[in-house]
Amino acid sequence: MSRFALLLATLLLTAGCAMPTITVHEDALSPREHLQLGISYEQKKEYDLAEEQYREATDLPEAWLCLANLAFTRQQWDESEKLYEKAMKQLPEDPRPYNNLAWLYYTRKRDLCRAETLAEKAVALAPAKQRKPYEDTLESVRAARRIVELK
């Protein structure tokens, strides 16, 4: 009996010594959580980390707008323009990407005709109670166009 008990004890002790395995887990964060984390990083001016999180959230259309805004903040004008175009496709009824691309053109003093068209669309899409900032962009673009036309 003691031999059996010794054998059983040995088997039980060695059974717990299996080879380690590597387990790959799916991303613990949802796209929405990545987006919120990206916003937090951006507010702290940790732009590289913000970009990583926004890219993890691109299943959400709003992530493209966040990426475009981040590129604008970093003065990456060409990248920002491309990302605003993508955001407009992803968010066709949202006035923000139209407005922000219009503002990009306004700040760069280029393509002001298109900027005006985009700003007009932003105003048209915005709910009445939220139109003021979009109307401000439109007026700024129109003023810039008038100056250019006077030259």
- Nearest partner of 122 among 141, 107, 138, 111, judged by Cα: 138
Q: How many CA atoms lie within 13 A of 7 on its CB side?
A: 4
pLDDT at 99: 98
Range of the structural domain that residue 136 is part of = 93-151
* CATH number of residue 73's parent domain: 1.25.40.10
Residue 12 lies in a domain: no
Domain endpoint, select from 90, 105, 138: 90
DSSP state for residue 63 in the 8-state scheme: H
Residue 43 lies in a domain: yes
Same domain, 70 and 105: no
Same domain, 138 and 114: yes
Number of structural domains the chain divides into: 2
pLDDT at 26: 78
Residue 5 lies in a domain: no
pLDDT at 9: 63
pLDDT per residue of the chain (151 residues) written in tens, 0 to 9: 577 766 656 655 565 555 566 656 678 999 999 999 999 999 999 999 999 999 999 999 999 999 999 999 999 999 999 999 999 999 999 999 999 999 999 999 999 999 999 999 999 999 999 999 999 999 999 999 998 888 7
pLDDT at 3: 74
**pTM listed for this prediction:** 0.81
For 81-118, give the secondary structure using H, E and C.
HHHHHHHHHHCCCCHHHHHHHHHHHHHHCCCHHHHHHH
